[in-house]
Amino acid sequence: MIKWFKLFDEDRDGKISLEEFCEVLGLRIEEVRETHVGQQQSAAKLQIDSRIQVLSANMELAVQVSITDECLRLFDQLDIFSGQADIKVATRSLKKYLDNRFSRMWHVVVLTGSFWMNYSHDDNYAIQFKCGRYVVLAWRTPQASTEA
């Protein structure tokens, strides 16, 4: 912490202002503010639909939103929530979407009851969420190691 204050607290008032930070790093304060506002606006727009309850996720929010939005789209399109449709079609379609959008081999499981599970997955590519009465599990298979 002392290092930071020595480096950035030019007026030695015990506070590091945005102006001091930008001055030391040679950044234009207007650009930094614009970038910050843009990031806040983007983050505010990036939300998981209120019909989804994420139980566990090891992935970026943008990927979570993409997966849950596609699941909702499929469930709505196939009328899954009525209980009359074949859930296999939705599961197959979601897997195909994930394979195409995020590459490699994905696994998709849709459940209506309790479950316990252990599995291996690529870092940052696993999610479990509730969608209506269904629990959806999706994860990407780790790439095989080429080390001996």
> Per-residue pLDDT for the chain (148 aa), expressed as one digit of tens each?
788 888 888 888 988 888 888 888 888 787 777 766 666 666 667 899 999 999 999 999 999 999 999 999 999 998 888 877 788 999 999 999 999 998 879 999 999 887 777 777 777 899 999 999 999 999 998 876 655 5
Residue 148 half-sphere exposure toward CB, CA atoms < 13 A: 0
| Predicted TM-score (pTM) of this structure | 0.66
Tell me which DSSP letter residue 23 carries: H
Q: What is the DSSP letter of 133?
A: T
> How many whole angstroms separate alpha carbon 21 and alpha carbon 131?
44
Q: Which of 134, 132, 130, 59 is nearest to 98 (CA)?
A: 59
Domains of the chain: residue spans and CATH: 2-45 (no CATH), 52-140 (3.30.740.10)
**Which residues pair with residue 111 across a beta bridge?**
135
